[in-house]
Amino acid sequence: MFSENDKISIRQLQALLILDLFGTGVVTLPRQTVNVAGNDAYIAVLLGSIIMAIFTLVFTTLGQRHTNKTVVEISQILLSRPIGLLLSLGLAIKIMIGAGLELRIFCEMIGQSMLFRTPIFVTALAMLLICGYVSAIGYECRARTGEILFIFVFVPFLILMLLAVFTADYSNLRPILSHSNSDIAKGAWYTILSFQGLEFLFLVFPYLQRPKKAKKGMLEAGFIIAFFMTLITLLTIAVFGQYSVVNKLFPVLQMMDSLQLPGSFLDRQDIFMLWFWVVSIFASVSAALFFVTILFERMQQNKNKKIPARKWMFFVMVIVFLVTVLPQDVASTNEYMEILKKYGGTFYILVLPVLLLIIDNIKRGKQI
């Protein structure tokens, strides 16, 4: 977009996808799935995550058939130009609202754990400026940054996970399969809707060096995410028990804070998890800024009078900032996020890709 070399490798896309999908939803996912599936929540998360991993094949199949196109062009080809533009605009709005709400939850989390007296708008503005700068440089820059941060994030994360594995009380997981299949299915459905960065696969294929190898790479990334999402949920239940988890706002962070590193000089181990989610929110918000700018840029009909990408970036940053600061508190933010997941997530993550793939198959069959 802004730089001449915006092509990234499959490995870089894997790192970005993992960071993008580990947004603030993972911090609250154990509490929300335990609410419906009890101590079987980890089974629900496992099922939902595996379905999500397999569902990436729908996005990659579309992307491989239209390697130089995004959802803007694909939807116009398959559904007509007016409908395609309307769907693209809706996707841009959905991504901006989602990024703003995620940023607000992140700011609340930081405010309650570290920056107690810092106004929310200051934290949000600082994060937005950093994300905007990285996004403006180009997708390759974001990919290289994500690749480096991925290493520094997952090493301490794995250490904490190993510590939690050996200190958790697994009797809290009993009795297994004590809830109905419908409760577990509800938890799995909620897990699927928690992966709000999945729609970025609609837009990434023009920036891949080898798009034909994307299926295997996305499946691998999806199963890695499924494993860690399930592990986090299982350990959170094992440490606190299902009745304690539902009463905690950010149970994963509180679990990490309760762990004690042997011989550690650190008073708070949750700083590692906070670092993990700082990077994750940085990845997801910068992705939102970049891809919404791409959407607006590609939606313009008059190629000779296109608004420069940098101007779109400023506009998108303003909208995301307003969405971040407008909710009254974290409860209303969570409520808005649930509505967005229920309607926007269901349509753009599940319905639209399947619809486009079916229509594409029909049109290809007619051509044959």
**Is 179 within a domain?**
yes
Report the residue count for the chain.
368
CA–CA gap between residue 182 and residue 179 (Å, rounded)? 8
CA–CA gap between residue 29 and residue 305 (Å, rounded)? 45
Q: Is the pTM above the cut of 0.75?
A: yes
**Is 1 within a domain?**
no
When mean pLDDT is compared across 134-143, 255-264, 333-342, the lowest value belongs to 255-264
| CATH code for the domain in which residue 31 is found | 1.20.1740.10
CB 275 within 8 A of CB 113: no
CA–CA gap between residue 197 and residue 42 (Å, rounded)? 21
Q: Which residue has the higher pLDDT, 60 or 151?
A: 60
Token readout for 348 is 């753009």
**Is 364 within a domain?**
no
Token readout for 220 is 């691998």
Residue with tokens 């920036």: 207
In the predicted structure, residue 119 carries a pLDDT above the cut 70: yes
In the predicted structure, residue 275 carries a pLDDT above the cut 80: no
CB 307 within 8 A of CB 57: no
The tally of domains found in the chain comes to 1
CB 72 within 8 A of CB 329: no
CB 259 within 8 A of CB 273: no
Of the pLDDT bands very low, low, confident and very high (cuts 50, 70, 90), residue 4 is very low
**Is 5 within a domain?**
no
Whole-angstrom Cα Rg for the chain: 20
Of the pLDDT bands very low, low, confident and very high (cuts 50, 70, 90), residue 367 is low
User: pLDDT by residue (tens digit) across 291-313?
Assistant: 999 999 888 866 666 777 778 89
CB 172 within 8 A of CB 237: yes
**Is 319 within a domain?**
yes
User: pLDDT by residue (tens digit) across 180-210?
Assistant: 889 999 999 989 988 888 889 999 999 898 8
User: pLDDT by residue (tens digit) across 68-93?
Assistant: 899 999 999 999 999 999 999 999 99
pLDDT value at residue 157: 77
pLDDT value at residue 303: 62
Average model confidence (pLDDT) across the chain = 85
Residue with tokens 């995004």: 70
Please give the average per-residue pLDDT across 329-340, as a whole number.
Answer: 90
pLDDT value at residue 211: 87
User: pLDDT by residue (tens digit) across 220-235?
Assistant: 998 998 998 999 899 9
pLDDT value at residue 264: 54
Task: Classify 197 as helix, strand or coil.
Answer: coil
pLDDT value at residue 161: 81
What are the backbone angles phi and psi of residue 188, rounded to the nearest 5°? -65, -40
**Is 57 within a domain?**
yes
**For the chain, what percentages of helix, strand and coil (3-state, to nearest 5) are there?**
80, 0, 20
**Is 298 within a domain?**
yes
In the predicted structure, residue 49 carries a pLDDT above the cut 80: yes
Dihedral in degrees, nearest 10, Cα atoms 4, 93, 88, 353: 100
**Is 154 within a domain?**
yes
Domain holding 210, by residue range, is 10-349
User: pLDDT by residue (tens digit) across 252-274?
Assistant: 777 777 766 665 555 566 676 67
CA–CA gap between residue 161 and residue 168 (Å, rounded)? 10
In the predicted structure, residue 170 carries a pLDDT above the cut 50: yes
Per-position DSSP letters for 181-238, written without gaps between them: HHHHHHHHHHHHHH-TTGGGGGT-GGGBS-GGGHHHHHHHHHHHHHHHHHHHHHHHHH
Q: How would you classify residue 80: left for phi > 0, otherwise alpha for psi between -120 and 50, otherwise beta?
A: left
